[in-house]
Structure 1
Amino acid sequence: MPNLIHYAIPFFVITVITEAILTVKVKLEDYEFKDAYTSILMGLGNVFIGLFTKGLTLGLFLFLYEYRLFTIPATWWSWFILLFAEDFVYYWNHRIAHESRLFWASHVVHHSSKKYNLSTALRQTWTGGFYTFIFWLPLVFIGFHPAMIIFQMSISLLYQYWIHTELIDKMPKWFEAIFNTPSHHRVHHATNPQYLDRNHAGIFIIWDKLFGTFEAEDEKPVYGLVTNIETYNPVKIAFKEWYNMITDTVKSKTTFGKRLLYLIKPPGWKHDGTGTLSTDLRKEWEEKKATN
């Protein structure tokens, strides 16, 4: 099956330019072109590296497909089931990317911009494709053909493109109740304490509501990271967290077991308790809200 992301590149270019014009002319705000340029470079790097990683992933999926439990035919009902099954897998992949530093090391790239627009959707990892595919392995063993899985993964990414904007306020209530929207995803990209590690949905927001990670947009979001990466250099953005994580793991003066926890624990975790975790910031916010 074709790689939909490649065919969508002209659409990405047109919509990013259109949004930039509307931001300046309609919202009367400055558009951060340098930040957008960095995001586009990150996106192009992701597409180039993806030519290699997606080939490896497909090859591994095809190999493991021989050991599937069932054979699910490519019919209308199997595509319908896969729509929800793949989105369910994406939710847990995305959630764990915020709860485990090893996966955050690649995902942090997408959150590194302090702006929120369509170009931010293009700011993608250069390293995640080498190992995050493991979350989709159950779909292979269940019996979905690897080509179907990878095609549905592309559909999910295409859907998530349009929700990276501030030009759309709210969708109709019924749509907001079921699907991921710009409002829901603005929360996900925000550093406001009540918004941290919330709304991990891909297409359907129902998973966040079901598993207790949903937060509605209330106050104006502040975008970026708890500790921002102050650079527009795409190479530094791609690998800075990997460097920091490996440094903490190797050089921390503690036991070998606790060193390994730097790979497993959430971003910000320190073996001596000096780190600032997003969960701690949210807990502090909840305590202040309860006392006010």
Structure 2
Amino acid sequence: MDLYAKVINYTIPIFLFLIAVEHFFEWRMGRKVSRGLDSVSSISSGVTNVVKDVLGLSLAIISYDWLLGHMALMSIEATWITYIVAFIVIDFKGYWKHRWEHEINFLWNRHVIHHSSEEFNLSCGLRQTVSGVVDYFFFLLLPAALLGVPVEVIAIVAPIHLFLQFWYHTRLIGKLGWLEKVIVTPSHHRVHHAVNEEYMDKNLGQIFIIWDKLFGTFQEEKPDIKIVYGITRPAKTWNPIKINYQHIFLLWKDAYHTKSWKDKLKIWFMKTGWRPADVIEKYPLESVGDPYLYQKYDPPASSKFKAWAWIQLFFNYFLLVYLFSHIAVIGSPYIFIYGAFVVLSVYAYTELMDRNPYALYMEMGKSLLGLFMIYWMGDWFGASEHFGLWYSATVAFYCVASIIVVGYFSFTEVNEKSQALVRS
């Protein structure tokens, strides 16, 4: 946990720097590939995901350690060849995990957050799940276990494999010649994120595109088919936590409403998007018909409203850096309280981004919790031992200021939206 937290503290600044570089080239090239609140939502999703991962809030049904202990046919040392084998096996596992998440209804809930952005850029690459707390797919590492690949090799290669999936989430890089035949490129992954019927559920590989060509899921990007990004049932929210559970909530509702006992069970394992016929008729859903006519979710927002969203995001990232740097010192159960505060904060400010009239109350609840923690502990989770009183004072000031600022926006932009809806 402690080591992974330190790795995350080193890698997140790299991701944020690359996102800034993409924004610079977007401006220089005169190409619009991002929107402010969409990017805030994407990065906020990444924040919730790393909180879950670093705090170990996930469970593998079968661990690699168990597979190795019970299935290994040989024992090998950790050489460079071992790392290559591990990388290939992890990528093979990644392809099938990714494919089943696209094809099976209940598994789609683990992955829908990643496709929910209606843009395609580097920040979109940070939209990662918090709902996937159970790993059903560790059995796919069986080839590595049979060969006796050591646990520490998998532990090193797995995060590297994950981080290498970030760079190809961009529209600013064209096709890459012979590399298109071997690895997943931005062109391949643009196809993967498309909502166009011609492109959907294609290019499921994570590093090597060879798996798609072997198993019949490859689709080249066509110059005459403009890609439209998103999901067929639009999320219509900036709140990443809500997006993580929209699909599973729909499945529960459909299973409850259908009259067929067979369909109550069947719905979970059918192809993604399948619904019982009686539910479709009685409870229709909004979906993207013609992708070229679809209007993106983009409620109007002033520049100061957008600026506040970015301030909220980066202050919570500031809090996260302290948590990950001192996770062993803070200890249990306080690390979970800290993580809950950050997730609650993300929920509150993204609800404000959605113009939820209750966002002010959520912000007040989060801020009062933060102030109570400072009062109860005497500072902010032991920060005074490392930085003096200024860190705790800064957090306290933020908690008070956020109530005031959110209150201001609640009586200006949030109320303006509500009044517009009444007039319409």
TM-score calculated relative to the size of structure 1: 0.86
Match of 1:165 among 159, 163, 170: 170
Q: Higher mean Cα deviation, 106-115 or 267-276? A: 267-276
- Structure 1 residue aligned with 2:193: 189
Letter paired with 1:122: L
Q: Higher mean Cα deviation, 240-249 or 106-115? A: 240-249
Deviations 1:144-184 (A, max 9, x none): 33332233221222111000000101112x10001100000
Please give the root-mean-square deviation of Cα atoms over the aligned residues, in Å.
Answer: 2.5
In the superposition, relative to structure 1, how do residues 199 and 34 fare at CA in structure 2: closer, same or farther (>3 Å)?
same
Query: Which SS does the other structure have where 2:164 is aligned?
Result: helix
In the superposition, relative to structure 1, how do residues 234 and 62 fare at CA in structure 2: closer, same or farther (>3 Å)?
same
In the superposition, relative to structure 1, how do residues 54 and 203 fare at CA in structure 2: closer, same or farther (>3 Å)?
farther
In the superposition, relative to structure 1, how do residues 247 and 72 fare at CA in structure 2: closer, same or farther (>3 Å)?
farther
Give matches, 1:140-159, under 5 Å: 141-142=145-146, 143-159=148-164
Letter paired with 1:67: H
Match of 2:257 among 232, 251, 256: 251
1:65 aligns with 2:71: no
Question: 2: distance between equivalents of 1:64 and 1:178?
Answer: 30
- Structure 1 residue aligned with 2:365: none
Query: Which SS does the other structure have where 1:31 is aligned?
Result: coil
The question of whether the paired residues in 2 share the 8 Å contact of 1:104 and 1:267 is answered with: yes
Deviation of residue 133 (structure 1)?
A: 4.4
In the superposition, relative to structure 1, how do residues 88 and 28 fare at CA in structure 2: closer, same or farther (>3 Å)?
closer
Identity among equivalent pairs (%): 36
In the superposition, relative to structure 1, how do residues 247 and 148 fare at CA in structure 2: closer, same or farther (>3 Å)?
farther
In the superposition, relative to structure 1, how do residues 28 and 176 fare at CA in structure 2: closer, same or farther (>3 Å)?
closer
Query: Which SS does the other structure have where 1:238 is aligned?
Result: helix
Question: 1: distance between equivalents of 2:137 and 2:49?
Answer: 15
The question of whether the paired residues in 2 share the 8 Å contact of 1:93 and 1:135 is answered with: no
TM-score calculated relative to the size of structure 2: 0.60
Match of 2:267 among 262, 265, 282: 262
- Structure 2 residue aligned with 1:35: 38
Letter paired with 1:214: F
How many corresponding residue pairs? 275
Deviations 1:257-287 (A, max 9, x none): 33222111122112328599xxxx9xxxxxx
| Higher RCO (CA < 8 A, seq sep 6+) | 1
Query: Which SS does the other structure have where 1:263 is aligned?
Result: coil
In the superposition, relative to structure 1, how do residues 111 and 186 fare at CA in structure 2: closer, same or farther (>3 Å)?
same
Deviations 1:96-155 (A, max 9, x none): 000011210110000000000000000000022423443545256423333322332212
Letter paired with 1:10: P
Deviation of residue 214 (structure 1)?
A: 0.3
- Structure 2 residue aligned with 1:177: 181
Deviation of residue 60 (structure 1)?
A: 3.6
Mark the runs of 5 or more structure 2 residues left unpaired by the alignment. Answer: 290-424
Question: 1: distance between equivalents of 2:42 and 2:21?
Answer: 16
In the superposition, relative to structure 1, how do residues 89 and 25 fare at CA in structure 2: closer, same or farther (>3 Å)?
same
1:105 aligns with 2:105: no
- Structure 2 residue aligned with 1:92: 96
Mark the runs of 5 or more structure 1 residues left unpaired by the alignment. Answer: 282-292
The question of whether the paired residues in 2 share the 8 Å contact of 1:110 and 1:125 is answered with: yes
Query: Which SS does the other structure have where 1:194 is aligned?
Result: coil
Letter paired with 1:230: K
The question of whether the paired residues in 2 share the 8 Å contact of 1:179 and 1:205 is answered with: yes
Letter paired with 1:61: Y
